[in-house]
Amino acid sequence: MNILRLSWKNLTNKPLNMGLSLVLFGLGVGLISLLLVLNDQLQEKFSKNLAGVDLVVGAKGSPLQLILSSMYHIDAPTGNINISDAAPFLRPGHPIIESAIPLSLGDSYRGHRIVGTEPAFLALYGAVLAEGAMWQRTMEVVAGAGVASKLGLSIGDTFKSSHGFDQNEDLVHEDAESFKIVGILEPTGAVADQLLLTRFSSLWAVHESHDHESHDHEGHDHESEGAGEPYPKGLLDYQDKQITSMLIQFKGHNIQALNMQRAINENTEMQAATPAIEINRLYSLMGTGTKALRWLAMVIIIVSGLSIFISLYNSLKERRYELALMRVMGASRSKLLALIVLEGLLLAVLGYVLGIGLSHGAMYLLADQMRETYQYDFSWAHFLQEELYLLGGALGIGLAAAILPALQARNTDISETLSDG
Q: Is the pTM of this model over 0.85?
A: no
User: Is the confidence at residue 261, as pLDDT, over 90?
Assistant: yes
Predicted confidence (pLDDT) per residue in 18-29, tens digit: 888 888 888 888
Q: Residue 213: what pLDDT?
A: 41
- Please state, rounded to an integer, the average pLDDT across all residues of the chain: 82
| Pairing relationship of beta strands 55-59 and 81-82 according to DSSP bridges | unpaired
More confidently predicted of 403 and 96: 96
The pLDDT > 70 percentage for the chain reads 85
Predicted confidence (pLDDT) per residue in 195-205, tens digit: 999 998 898 88
Q: Looking at residues 164-184, what average pLDDT do you find?
A: 83
Q: Residue 111, Cβ neighbours under 10 Å: how many? A: 17
Rounded-to-integer distance, Cα 161 and Cα 269, Å: 30
User: Is the confidence at residue 336, as pLDDT, over 70?
Assistant: yes
Q: Residue 264: what pLDDT?
A: 95
Rounded-to-integer distance, Cα 42 and Cα 289, Å: 15
Dihedral angle over CA of 186, 192, 196, 200, nearest 10: -120
Predicted confidence (pLDDT) per residue in 229-239, tens digit: 333 468 888 88
Q: Looking at residues 298-320, what average pLDDT do you find?
A: 76
Predicted confidence (pLDDT) per residue in 375-415, tens digit: 667 777 888 888 888 899 888 888 888 887 777 767 766 55
Q: Residue 43: what pLDDT?
A: 79
Q: Looking at residues 257-274, what average pLDDT do you find?
A: 93
The pLDDT > 90 percentage for the chain reads 34
Q: Residue 317: what pLDDT?
A: 65
Q: Any residues with CB less than 8 A from the CB of 74 and at least 6 apart, and which?
A: 68, 373, 374, 375, 376
Q: Looking at residues 109-138, what average pLDDT do you find?
A: 92
Q: Residue 85: what pLDDT?
A: 93
Instruction: Identify the band that residue 115 occupies on the pLDDT scale cut at 50, 70 and 90.
Output: very high
Burial class (CB in 10 A: 0-12, 13-18, 19+), 185: buried
Q: Residue 343: what pLDDT?
A: 83
Q: Residue 42: what pLDDT?
A: 80
Q: Residue 229: what pLDDT?
A: 34
The separation between the first and the last C-alpha atoms of the chain, rounded to the nearest angstrom, is: 23
Phi/psi at 149 (nearest 5 deg)?
Answer: -70, -45
